[in-house]
Structure 1
Amino acid sequence: MLVLERVSRRFGAKTAVGNVDLEIAAGSFVGVIGRSGAGKSTLLRLINRLADPTEGRILWDGVDVTALKGRKLREWRSRCAMIFQQFNLVGRLDVLTNVLMGRLAKVSTTSSVLRLWSEEDKAIALSALEQFDIGALAAQRADSLSGGQQQRVAIARAMVQDPSIILADEPIASLDPRNTKVVMDALLRINKHFGITVLCNLHSLDLAREYCDRLVGMAAGKVVFDGAPAALTADVARDLYGLEAADVIGAEAALDPAVAAIARPAAA
């Protein structure tokens, strides 16, 4: 279980995340929702220790993640895989090598620098690519792929880390609708088939409702909603998204009067 206790992160006078308390059960698929600047990305970076909390503690199965250093911290980052909005692939390298980068924590420094990957590591990487129907792209340069293909490579790289939890930071923000579905289906399959916890930042309320077991809504760095997707009321959605409500709900509002109520401004 992932536990956040009164976690805050300040940048000068600005509070990006403020006094967040959360418990994320192992094996769950949790969507973190809210408008841009709500603190969603900072929250995930704190969990992975790409940024350190100003206050509070983060625990995984009782281990204080915020106290980890050196090798223990590297091990945690391997178990807590990140998937980024902009893929973070090395474009000039082939797809297979990019995926093998996810094995860095499991090989020696010399082997990683010289790219002396074992046959076992290569087999693991190829298997991950095959799971996402991109095994045939293994020899291609990463920067020759479409956005959806690159994001699937990034997911395969995360999988070969053998993670306990995957943190996905707006993984479909730059993708078209078809590739959005492919990537979200891949994350859902990872969650359901392998039992890996997924914590996914999403701007679209429609997608969050479709894929997530639970939603955590953030506004101005604070958690203002935590519950099942069906429990998200119109008032809470307006608090989360403000004037952006109609955009994030999308076409669904035109079909469902209950959803349309979320997009309408509150009566004066």
Structure 2
Amino acid sequence: MLVVEGLTCRFGAKAAVDDASFQISPGGFVGVIGRSGAGKSTLLRTINRLVTPTQGRILFDGLDVTALRGKELRQWRARSAMIFQQFNLVGRLDVLTNVLMGRLATMPAWRSLSQIWPEQDKALAMSALEQFDIAALAAQRADQLSGGQQQRVAIARALVQQPDIILADEPIASLDPRNTKIVMDALLRINKHFGITVLCNLHSLDLARSYCDRLIGMAQGRVVFDGAPSALTDLVARELYDLEAADVMGGMPAPAPEGVPALGTAAAA
């Protein structure tokens, strides 16, 4: 259970996240929606502790995340895997090594520095790549891949962390419609097949309604909606998105996932 209590994160006089409170039960696929600048990215980065909160608490299964330091904080970041909009891969390294980076938190310092990967970690990384139909790309440099392929590598890296929760920060913002579906289907498979909680920032309301079982709406750093997608009426959505409403409600149609695709059935991008 993830519990956020009165979470506030200020940058100078501006509150990027303002007194946010909510709870997320294990195994949910929760979308965080809202216009640009609403505080969605800061919220996820604060939960992962890439950003230090100004006040409030983050609890996970009774663990006070806001109090963690040093080794305990590194362990939490492994348990709460981040997926970023711009992939955050090391372009000059091959795909397999990029995925193996997800195992760094479990390795002693000497192995981390020398990148001497245990055989079981290599097998785990290859298995993750196979699940997203990109095992054949293991030896390629990451910067030679398409955007959709790179994001699937980033998702595989998050999966080998064996996390309790995945925090996806606008994971499809730079992708075309075809790769958007591939990546969202991949996140849905992880959520359904492994029971891993997914908290995903999405700008498209159509996508959020199609893939998420719960939506948290933010405006000016505050949580202003929290409920099932069916409870988010067009009127509430227009109030939430303001001038951006036409873009998020009348843009690209989001094909609803047909059940949960089997692992290893992602299309090549």
Same fold (TM over 0.5): yes
Q: Which residue of 2 aligns with 1:222?
A: 222
Write the letter of the residue equivalent to 1:62: G
Q: Which residue of 2 aligns with 1:70?
A: 70
Q: Is contact 2:177–2:252 with CA below 8 Å preserved after alignment?
A: no
Could you list the runs of 5+ residues in structure 1 that have no partner in the other structure?
254-268
Q: Look up the SS of the partner of 1:16 in the other structure.
A: strand
Matched, 1:27 2:30: no
Structure 1 residue 238 displacement after superposition: 1.4
Q: Is contact 2:89–2:98 with CA below 8 Å preserved after alignment?
A: yes
Q: Which residue of 1 aligns with 2:133?
A: 133
Q: Which residue of 1 aligns with 2:167?
A: 167
The structure number with the bigger radius of gyration is 1
Write the letter of the residue equivalent to 1:74: R
Q: Deviations over 1:49-81 (max 9, x none)?
A: 001110100000011000011111111000000
Q: Deviations over 1:97-148 (max 9, x none)?
A: 0000000011111111111001111000000000000000000000000000
Q: Is contact 2:80–2:163 with CA below 8 Å preserved after alignment?
A: yes
Q: Deviations over 1:167-195 (max 9, x none)?
A: 00000000000000000000000000000
Find the aligned partners of 1:205 and 1:82 in 2 and give their Cα distance.
Answer: 21
Find the aligned partners of 2:171 and 2:221 in 1 and give their Cα distance.
Answer: 20
Q: What's the % identity of the aligned pairs?
A: 76
Find the aligned partners of 2:252 and 2:181 in 1 and give their Cα distance.
Answer: 16
Find the aligned partners of 2:141 and 2:188 in 1 and give their Cα distance.
Answer: 27
Kindly tell me the number of residue pairs found equivalent between the two proteins. 253
Q: Which residue of 2 aligns with 1:5?
A: 5
- Please give the residue correspondences for 1:132-151 in structure 2 after superposition, counting only pairs within 5 Å: 132-151=132-151
- Please give the residue correspondences for 1:1-268 in structure 2 after superposition, counting only pairs within 5 Å: 1-251=1-251
Find the aligned partners of 2:91 and 2:190 in 1 and give their Cα distance.
Answer: 25
Q: Which residue of 2 aligns with 1:263?
A: none
Q: Look up the SS of the partner of 1:172 in the other structure.
A: coil
Q: Look up the SS of the partner of 1:230 in the other structure.
A: helix
Q: Look up the SS of the partner of 2:82 in the other structure.
A: strand
Q: Which residue of 2 aligns with 1:266?
A: none
Q: Deviations over 1:230-262 (max 9, x none)?
A: 000223211211111111112589xxxxxxxxx
Q: Look up the SS of the partner of 2:171 in the other structure.
A: coil
Q: Is contact 1:219–1:239 with CA below 8 Å preserved after alignment?
A: no
* TM-score, normalised by the number of residues in structure 2: 0.93
Cα RMSD after superposing both structures: 1.0
Find the aligned partners of 1:114 and 1:224 in 2 and give their Cα distance.
Answer: 48
Structure 1 residue 160 displacement after superposition: 0.4
Structure 1 segments of 4+ aligned residues over 2 angstroms from their partners: 250-253
Q: Look up the SS of the partner of 1:90 in the other structure.
A: coil
Write the letter of the residue equivalent to 2:188: L
Write the letter of the residue equivalent to 1:20: A
* TM-score, normalised by the number of residues in structure 1: 0.93
